[in-house]
Amino acid sequence: MKQEYQDLVLRACGASSVRVGAKIQTLWSGYGEIVRLHLEGCDRPSVVVKHVKFPEEAEHPGGWNTNRSHARKVRSYQVETHWYQNYSTNQSCRIPACLATCSHGDEMLIVLEDLDAAGFNQRRTSVKDKEIKACLSWLAHFHAVFLGVAPEGLWPVGTYWHLETRPDELEAMDDAQLKAVAGDVDRILSECRFKTIVHGDAKLANFCFSPSGQDVAAVDFQYVGGGCGIKDIVYFLGSCMEERECEKRVPGLLDYYFTELKLFVNKDIDFRALETEWREMFAFAWTDFHRFLLGRMPGHWKINRYSKQLTKEVLRKLKQ
């Protein structure tokens, strides 16, 4: 890491020295890395740095390297930087504090609180009911905090699979019937009366857990933006449950999410109308992501019986 970036961290944290620690992960398609820096002489033992460096030639694992893809990624890091600089949540939907940012040429740096040091040092590849509900509660708080808030400086429509940003994947789809109504599905979701700010990539891997699993924080806000909150719920549930689990457990988990959401939204909101609308949007939101996968990765495990059944439901509704 360049000395000027280390100096930025020293100034931001009031530290006397910094040591570059382990790389936490490489960013998607080789667009940089996330590293932990160890500090001395201040009240923080460490920070996490998201160091974006745009590659001369991207290495997408699926071969989706296009100018459009590059422009979308560049914009996503600009959005994430703006998010951390200008938006804040509360302790019930915890995110890392942003300590400093900088941008120079083809490099960007976001210096973040180390959530491991803050007590969220667990990651999960599989979850039980307690962890799923902790994440749903986080999302309910998040959606309540930003209900009715305009996504200024963020994606006008959040989520990384939004149709307008994915014309290549739409073109690659073999399912002609779904392809023909993709725009209608997107329009119906976009015309929701009740909008919030969505995380946009609320998969299990982007939640950091406390040792008990009861408390969570979230990271990775590259695709944060406006929209119907149920999009985050659909994507989260699909990221941690296979088709049989979805068939069995989704109804109860949706009930839990809406129970949590009702606790936190302002009392002047017509919650019954909100819940009715977002429940109606569940199948549309699931179908919308299914559309993306069919064009992007037609062999993906998430293209399963449950997803296909919801898509059939939506196609039937659109014919009525």
Question: Which tens digit of pLDDT belongs to each residue from 207-216?
Answer: 999 999 999 9
Helices 271-296 & 176-190, crossing angle to 10 degrees?
A: 150
Contact (Cβ atoms closer than 8 angstroms) between residue 144 and residue 129: no
Tell me how far apart the alpha carbons of residues 115 and 99 are, in angstroms, rounded to a whole number. 13
Task: Spell out the alpha helix ranges (H) of 121-267.
Answer: 129-145, 167-172, 176-190, 230-240, 243-264
Give the number of other CB atoms < 10 A from CB of residue 218.
Answer: 23
Q: Which residue has the tokens 């009702």?
A: 262
Q: Which helix (H) or strand (E) holds 111?
A: strand 107-113
pLDDT at 30: 87
| Torsion angles phi and psi, residue 127, rounded to 5 | -135, 155
Instruction: Give the bridge partners for 225, in sequence order.
Output: 155, 198
114-150: b (≥16 Cβ within 10 Å) or e: bbbeeebebebeebeeebbbbbbbbbbbbbbbbbeee
pLDDT at 57: 64
The domains located in the chain, with CATH, are 3-117 (3.30.200.20), 122-318 (3.90.1200.10)
pLDDT tens-digit map of 227-266: 999 999 999 999 999 999 999 999 999 999 999 999 999 9
Q: Which residues of the chain have pLDDT under 70?
A: 57-65
Three-state DSSP class for 70?
A: helix
Q: Which helix (H) or strand (E) holds 227?
A: strand 225-227
pLDDT at 67: 81
Burial of 209 per CB tally in 10 Å (0-12, 13-18, 19+)? buried
pTM, entire model: 0.94
245's tokens: 């689990």
Tell me how far apart the alpha carbons of residues 302 and 320 are, in angstroms, rounded to a whole number. 27
pLDDT at 240: 94
Tell me how far apart the alpha carbons of residues 42 and 194 are, in angstroms, rounded to a whole number. 44
